[in-house]
Structure 1
Amino acid sequence: MARTTLRAAAVLAVSTALMLTACTTAPGAESGDGEPQTGGTLKVLANGDVDHLDPQLVSYVPTYNVMRSVSRSLLSYAASDDAAERIVLQPDLVEEVPTPSADGLTYTVTLRDGVTWGAPDGARPIVASDVARGIERLCNPHISGALAGYFQGLIAGMAEFCTGFAAVAPEVGPIKEYIEGNEIAGIQTPDDRTIEFTLVEPASDFPFMLSLDAADPAPIEALDALPDSPEYRRGFVSSGPYQVAEYTPDAKLVLERNPAWDPESDPLRKAYVDGIEMTMGVEGDAAMQQLQAGSADLLFDLSPSPANIQQLKAANDEKFSTMENGGVDQFMWMNTASANNGGALTKLEVRQALQYAIDKSAVVQTMGGADLAGVTNGIFGPGILGYQESDQYATEGGKGDPEKAKELLAEAGYPDGLTLKMPYRNVGTQPDIAQTVQASLERAGITVELTPVPPTDYYANFMTNRDNASSGAWDIALVGWSPDWQGGAARSVFQPQFVFDGTPQSYNYVDFDSDAANELAAEALAAETPDEAADLWHQVDEAVMADAPIVSIAYRLKSNYHSARVGGFEPYAQSQNGDWTNVWLTK
């Protein structure tokens, strides 16, 4: 996704079927699951596959648990049941969380002793040039990293490096030659353990970006294959406690211990289990049955269904848990690029009418009720710096006000209402949510024509196809968004969706832009304290919502479940699931 450059927010002050081997007690603190145990194979069930096995390209939330296991980051997060603790930046490959230079433009990190690659010819130290190489790979001409834009506009000289890279043939030889023959001016490696990042403007949320796998080091072997190609995956070189033993796309991923990993160099991963086996192509109900029977342990891209959740909560099953992720699961874009209805959605009063028309509380009930979801009124969800409970279009209990909506429509010249086209993903609860929204709008005199779209096509081929917006193929559409990192992540919500600098962005479907919001964002990103930044980001939220480009509807708590034999289940914030590298098997 293309991103534009903004100065950054202040860092938060606190800012499956292998036989089970015998388990032995490992050093560790007592927990509700007893003492940690080593050994065994953790069995994970998945419906789909990872998005990538190449760290530079990963952006799919479930995949972060795979990356946690095989690829170490410069900075990361500790797994924790405490919502505040699990979003505090922690050193991973580096010795400490960096602070900026006096002018705010330089960050220097030092690699730990003992960090190694599980290279084909044996353990080899991870060095500073590996870090530079990783970031250089982000904008390769074969397949650019989805999160490359955050770095490209911020690290000095990276935009120029990437412009030159774009002219290179997308083949192994030219890519390797370009990376080895060029450098990013803002990444200097004065010795094997030191990396100096120079930015084009102060960006105190830059350390948060270094927690992304997009910024993971890349071994020299990564240049011997096209990014994330079958050849790359077969030759994947691990830096984490596990390495790839077997991989069959859309079927199975097996991880085994990486003999090059030194536990003394890793403060965040205990690696209790001997191996991890992920079986793909499993449906939700079948997966839950296996977890409850103890024949599998964790879920990858699956969550308990609303019916499952009701049963688990009624039984007070302690293996079920929920967590906030800072995202807004349901919000509705309004297509101001469409000429449908005489360009009605270009009128503020019409967009405001839709704000009042939707019964958000009914959507929350469709999503499972207040135990699993909640009403939202802005661009940020709970758990992100800048989120505050406020509402410029308040209605009692979030139930909507159809009469107010009709009044606004009449003022805008539509006393007889509108007819709007709404695509929706025909998967899970999305059809029910779409019908709930349809019923809400009908109360305000708005007819909604629903069009089902396969979930695999919805974003990739429908919503991000700009011709669909300009031609009026849709008028309103339900989407969702989660921040790309944890903690001070307001930039990763605002920048890709609500900023337009002349270059279309994939997820800003109608090139929305607000001068007022942009100015406030610049202040927020230069704020000296988290409290100041939070207040300014809230003002950004209010400025966007004053223009009403979206109807913010609801957030969804991430639901997780695990088998009875899993001990030490604590969420890893990036994956929004239990941390594979810190759970153990109790039997």
Structure 2
Amino acid sequence: MTRKKKALLTPLVVASATAMILSGCSTAEGDPTGSAGEPQTGGTLKVLSNGDTDHIDPQLIAYVPSNSITRTISRSILSYEASNDAAERSELVGDLATEVPEPEDGGLTYTITLREGTTWDAPDGARDIVSADVERGIERICNPYIGAALGGYFISLIEGMAEYCEGFAAVAPEIEPMKEYIESNDISGVETPDDKTVVFRLVEPASDFTSMLSLATANPAPVEVLDYLPDSPEYRNNFVASGPYTVAEHKPDVKLTLERNPSWNADSDPLRKAYVDSIEMTMGIEVDAGMQQLQAGSADMLFDLQPSPANIQQLTSVGDEKFTTLENGGVDQFLWFNTKTDNNDGALQKVEVRQALQYAIDKAAVVQVMGGEEIATVTNGIFGPGINGHEPFSLYGDGDGKADPEKAKQLLADAGIENLTLKFPYRNLGSQPDIAQTVQASLEEAGITVELFPVPPTDYYANFMTNRENATNGEWDIALVGWSPDWVGGAARSVYQPQFSFNGTPQAYNYVDYNNDEANELAAQALAASTPEEAGELWHQVDQTVMEDSPVVSIAAKKKANYHSDRVQNFAIYALAQNGDWANVWLSK
């Protein structure tokens, strides 16, 4: 499926494209925050999770729920206010930076000024966060031990970073060689004229660069991190925090405990009030058990769990104000085709076969499994509702999502394919088993044998799907994944570039190195568009071009559902986590 390789250009003018819709809506009249009276300090916020965070190391974060953790322990250059107002929570503001910088030098330069009073919780006591820490964080992005999943945005855009990373790739993935490389080499496009100033120089103008600076990938890194392998147990046990909390204990797949950071200076932090004394996340919890604990008041919030369709029906029927939803601009269910495998004599490498399978999936049935049309909707392209570039269209069928197994059978026969057997991993989490079984049933209606097998949720992305050998060796043929935009705002690039473009350097979430020159050219034009309307039309053409190749079946988008206990007050959404902000809720006594 990979065509002649051509790198996706970084943005040229990207105007302020239409903001990603994050419209939280309560299911009943009243205040969904649950706020009552004056804020109270103290107590332990009890969070329930099925799986673990993908990483503690901020540079490596890519899993949306993990942003809840990072928000509390590591401050970003830029960020967002927690709010239940869609416009307010989508507005970029300063975090470590005093303000959002304006582009200079024709859009090639951005100058960051760091706030006074921001500190690390260093082993020998509080220490100021300085510009060298910002530089070090950017340099760690492409370390050869475990590179940042979202690092490609920065590597292709910051002047000299591609060359820096090329040199870093030749370094042994060990502590001392990596430390020496970082301390002995610089990225020409990151300048630190003094302790409170960082100047970024770009290879091309990019008005979405400031949005990228809200990602944890760009967070500063203290000098102590160079003494440990990135995100290793030693790194985690010696975590140096900059947020209001720090890591007290982490037992993988069991429990995470955060406690107050004594070095945090509240006066320097406009975004986090840190009302609770500590945060405990308990893992290994199933959805129904988690909801029972929240409703009983023995736990407070959810991490990677969401109310089940049955829960949602019950909560909406009684008008429970603690249940809210929001659109996140993503597609909750993509079915990826493995075009790297020779399974079935390489059948999935044929575009005609992949297009035939588009007709076999009963998307409408999946929507019902996900909770019905009030919370989920059929999709047919790579962009979800709310992304500038999303427009309703369907290249396969009439767009309603109903399966046409006879059409699929005929097209497979035309392609000379018989006795197709597909290996299908799925996450044993929430409604994922039911969705996988629904897709299996659809495919079997079209005469396709499907072999389902579970993969633990914590391993699914981190160790299974992103392990490129699993694709090459044919460990899977089709797989369900979801994708949310990486930042808030005109975010089509954050959907397209990491999943559907390939410039010769493997990307974690482009599982089969998919690439299309025509789509890349259209994307480059969209990034250079002078108006959001022009950009949106070009991104829509990108969508259509990709779907003609059929690298995925786009199945459904789902609103993010959140729920919390009665004692949680000020439940306001932190946009990057798509959940209530742990750093700003308080607990009623």
Aligned mates of 1:257, 1:458 — CA distance in 2: 32
Aligned counterpart for 1:93 among listed residues 86, 93, 96: 96
Partner of 2:558: 556
- Asked if the contact 1:165–1:178 (Cα under 8 Å) also holds between the matched residues in 2, the reply is yes
CA shift, 1:67, in A, is 1.0
Q: State how 1:79-90 maps to structure 2 within 5 Å.
A: 79-90=82-93
3-state SS, counterpart of residue 387 of structure 2: coil
TM-score (norm: length of structure 2):
0.89
**In the alignment, residue 225 of structure 1 is paired with which amino acid?**
Y
3-state SS, counterpart of residue 48 of structure 1: coil
Partner of 2:128: 125
- Asked if the contact 2:329–2:484 (Cα under 8 Å) also holds between the matched residues in 1, the reply is yes
Aligned mates of 2:459, 2:224 — CA distance in 1: 34
3-state SS, counterpart of residue 331 of structure 1: strand
CA shift, 1:350, in A, is 3.3
Relative contact order (C-alpha < 8 Å, sep 6+): which is higher? Answer: 2
Report Cα offsets for 1:535-584 as digits up to 9, x if no partner.
Answer: 22122111111222221111122221111011110111111211001111
- Asked if the contact 1:140–1:166 (Cα under 8 Å) also holds between the matched residues in 2, the reply is yes
1:174 and 2:155 are equivalent in the alignment: no
- Asked if the contact 2:8–2:521 (Cα under 8 Å) also holds between the matched residues in 1, the reply is no
Partner of 1:421: 422
Size of the aligned set, in residue pairs, is 568
Partner of 2:495: 493
Aligned mates of 2:123, 2:346 — CA distance in 1: 61
Aligned counterpart for 1:259 among listed residues 236, 258, 262: 262
CA shift, 1:384, in A, is 2.5
* Distance change (3 Å), C-alpha of 1:89 and 1:413: same
3-state SS, counterpart of residue 38 of structure 1: coil
* Distance change (3 Å), C-alpha of 1:259 and 1:338: closer
Aligned mates of 1:164, 1:436 — CA distance in 2: 47
Stretches of structure 1 lacking an aligned partner (at least 5 in a row): 16-29
Which stretch shifts more, 130-139 or 280-289? 280-289
1:524 and 2:526 are equivalent in the alignment: yes
Partner of 1:448: 449
Partner of 2:361: 358
Partner of 1:283: 286
Report Cα offsets for 1:386-441 as digits up to 9, x if no partner.
Answer: 22222222426321334443454454456xx6524141315133332233223333
- Asked if the contact 1:87–1:573 (Cα under 8 Å) also holds between the matched residues in 2, the reply is yes
CA shift, 1:275, in A, is 2.3
Aligned counterpart for 1:12 among listed residues 5, 12, 16: 16
* Distance change (3 Å), C-alpha of 1:339 and 1:177: closer
CA shift, 1:461, in A, is 5.2
- Asked if the contact 1:208–1:488 (Cα under 8 Å) also holds between the matched residues in 2, the reply is no
Aligned mates of 1:331, 1:49 — CA distance in 2: 22
**In the alignment, residue 488 of structure 1 is paired with which amino acid?**
G
Partner of 1:542: 544
CA shift, 1:269, in A, is 1.4
* Distance change (3 Å), C-alpha of 1:420 and 1:483: farther
**In the alignment, residue 553 of structure 1 is paired with which amino acid?**
I
1:383 and 2:390 are equivalent in the alignment: no
- Asked if the contact 2:331–2:482 (Cα under 8 Å) also holds between the matched residues in 1, the reply is yes
CA shift, 1:524, in A, is 1.2
CA shift, 1:340, in A, is 5.2
Q: State how 1:505-516 maps to structure 2 within 5 Å.
A: 505-516=507-518
**In the alignment, residue 446 of structure 1 is paired with which amino acid?**
G
Q: State how 1:119-198 maps to structure 2 within 5 Å.
A: 119-198=122-201
Aligned mates of 1:432, 1:338 — CA distance in 2: 26
* Distance change (3 Å), C-alpha of 1:284 and 1:531: same
**In the alignment, residue 38 of structure 2 is paired with which amino acid?**
E
* Distance change (3 Å), C-alpha of 1:232 and 1:426: closer
Partner of 2:233: 230
**In the alignment, residue 192 of structure 2 is paired with which amino acid?**
T
CA shift, 1:471, in A, is 5.5
3-state SS, counterpart of residue 489 of structure 2: coil
The two structures, once aligned, show a CA RMSD in angstroms of 2.6
3-state SS, counterpart of residue 400 of structure 2: helix
Which stretch shifts more, 178-187 or 383-392? 383-392
Q: State how 1:325-404 maps to structure 2 within 5 Å.
A: 325-339=328-342, 343-395=346-398, 397-404=400-407
TM-score (norm: length of structure 1):
0.89
Aligned mates of 1:250, 1:341 — CA distance in 2: 36
Overall identity of the aligned pairs, in %? 66
Aligned mates of 2:146, 2:157 — CA distance in 1: 20
Aligned mates of 1:246, 1:468 — CA distance in 2: 32
Report Cα offsets for 1:222-274 as digits up to 9, x if no partner.
Answer: 22333223332233222112223344443333323333323332222122222
Stretches of structure 2 lacking an aligned partner (at least 5 in a row): 1-5, 20-32
